[in-house]
Amino acid sequence: MVIIREIRDSDIEKGFLDALNNLLPPDINDKGYAKSILQEIKSNLLHKIYVAEDDSNGKIAGTTTLLIEPKFINKGMKVGYIEDVAVSKDFEGLGIGSKLVTYATNQAISIHNCKKVLLYCSAKTRPFYEKLGYKIAEDTVVMKFESLSESR
Ligand SMILES: CC(C)(COP(=O)(O)OP(=O)(O)OC[C@H]1O[C@@H](n2cnc3c(N)ncnc32)[C@H](O)[C@@H]1OP(=O)(O)O)[C@@H](O)C(=O)NCCC(=O)NCCS
């Protein structure tokens, strides 16, 4: 069974980067450097990283990120953005990805009062999100830079 919770520094040593590796390799060997990135992320209270922890051994099985954007429009509405959904290869197909996205979505709506939640995905992973209630929104434009590798 997994528990979904906010990330802790010690998760860097418990498989957090391995989980992300299934999305895109972080290519970070220095754990101290990884922790400094986490510190910077945590200094922004509107930038949340959630992890799925295997409660039998403490290993991190998956992760996702939620960014909350307060806006002026629509009476100061908030929008949530879900990013970097990844489940370690060993843990795929067990419902962990669904739990992570559902948790982040519920946090966005119930805790942070977001009026909508957006996420960017490939045609390949679209059915995964559609099963969770997400719907395709058209008219999206994107600026891509070739030097960035991309798997989704
Ligand atoms: C996509 C990913 C997060 C799914 O996580 P998971 O824990 O294996 O997914 P779940 O077990 O919760 O799957 C839930 C449902 O979605 C389906 N599903 C999962 N991954 C899917 C995919 N890539 N394409 C289509 N359907 C998928 C499952 O078959 C399952 O369907 P069911 O309820 O009818 O049995 C995981 O495979 C992963 O990390 N992939 C690599 C990184 C990635 O592509 N992330 C998404 C970036 S947008």
Q: Which atom of ligand 1 is nearest to the CA of 122?
A: 48
Does the Cβ of 86 fall within 6 Å of ligand 1? yes
Percent of the chain with pLDDT over 70: 95
Average pLDDT, the chain: 94
Output the pLDDT for position 141.
84
Question: What six digits make up the tokens of 115?
Answer: 């009026």
What is the CA(129)–ligand 1 centre distance, in A?
8
Beta bridge partners of 116: 79
| Domain residue ranges of the chain, discontinuous segments joined by + | 2-130
Residue 94 DSSP symbol? S
Cα→Cα distances 43→1, 38, 120, Å: 30, 9, 24
Task: Name which residue sits closest to atom 6 of ligand 1, judged by CA.
Answer: 97
Would the pLDDT of 151 be above 60?
Answer: no
- Looking at CATH, the fold of the domain delimited by 2-130 is given as Aminopeptidase (3.40.630)
For the whole model, what pTM was predicted? 0.94
Question: What six digits make up the tokens of 3?
Answer: 């528990």
